[in-house]
A and B are shown apart, each in its own frame.
Chain A
Amino acid sequence: MKFSDFIVKDSIRAQIESTDKEGVIREMTAALKEADAVAENQFDSIVEAVLKREELGSTGIGRGVAVPHTKHPTVEQLCGTVAVSQSGVEFDSLDGEKVNLLFLLVSPPDRPGDHLRALENISRQLRDDSFCNFLKQSKTPEDIWQLLVEADNNQFGS
C-alpha cells in the first residue's frame, strides 16, 4: 500500500492554518472534499466520525505525528491526505507533544486490510528521521508529494 495508492495529491496541505484538533480535522476533510475524494454532502458526517474516533483515544501516536481516521460507508476505496502544521497542533498525544505531521485516512467499512497496510506504511516511513524531518520542513504540497513518491521508491532506507 504505497502512499501514491491512497494519498490524494490535490488534497495535500503544506501550511495548515488551524491550531486545534477539530479545526485541523475540518481543514483536512475540506481538502479531501475539494479534491473530490469525498462527497460534499458527507463532509459533516465524516468530520463527526473522525472526531468520535478521537474520543476513543487520541491518534497522536508520538514523534509529532497524528493519524486521525474513520471508516465511512460512502467511500469506495481508502483515501487519505497529508498536512503539515508549522506551529503545531495540540492533539492529546501519548507523549504530550504537539503534532506537526498529520495523515487523515477515510476508508470503506469492509476493507480493514487496506487501512492496516496504510498505517503500516505510514508508520514504517516515519521511523526514518530524515523522512520525518523533510516532511516537517516542506513548504509546498508538491514538496510533500515528492517525498511520498521517494519514500514509495525506498529512498529513505527501510
Chain B
Amino acid sequence: MSGSEATRLVVVQHSQGLHARPAEIVAKAAMLYRAKVEIVRDGYRVDAKSILNLLTLGATQGAELRIEAHGDDASDAVQALADLIESDFSDFD
C-alpha cells in the first residue's frame, strides 16, 4: 500500500539541539498530518506530536534521529519533519 509508511534518517543541525522552541515547531508541524508520527533515537521512541515527548530525546546537534510515520500522508509528514530538523530553525527565532 503506497504512502502508508515512511521512514527517514536525519541529523539535528541546530547548534543548540532540539530544545523547547524547535521541539514546539516540530510538534506543531507533526500535528498537521493525519499519520501517526514518531521519532526514534537510539531505540528510544517518542510521539512527534508532543513537545514534552520530543524534549525527552535530549537531541543535541549531530544527533541521529529516525522519523517514522504510518498513515495516508506518511511521506509528506516525514518530508516536512526532516526538512525542519535538518534546518537551523533560523526562520522561526
Contacts and interface: CB of A to CB of B under 8 A. Distances in A.
Interface range for B: 20 to 34
Contacts, number: 59
A115 B59 CA distance: 12
Contacts of A123: 52-53, 55-56
B80 interface: no
Interface of B: 15-21, 23-25, 27-28, 50-53, 55-60, 92-93
B76 to A, nearest CB: 22
Given A56-B93, A119-B19, 10 more contacts: A57-B20, A57-B25, A59-B20, A61-B20, A61-B23, A61-B52, A94-B27, A116-B18, A116-B19, A119-B55
Given A69-B20, A115-B16, A61 B55 contact: yes
Nearest to B27: A94
A65 B52 contact: yes
A119 B54 CA distance: 10
Which secondary structure characterizes the binding site on chain A? helix
Given A61-B52, A62-B52, A123-B53, A112 B16 contact: yes
B52 A127 contact: yes
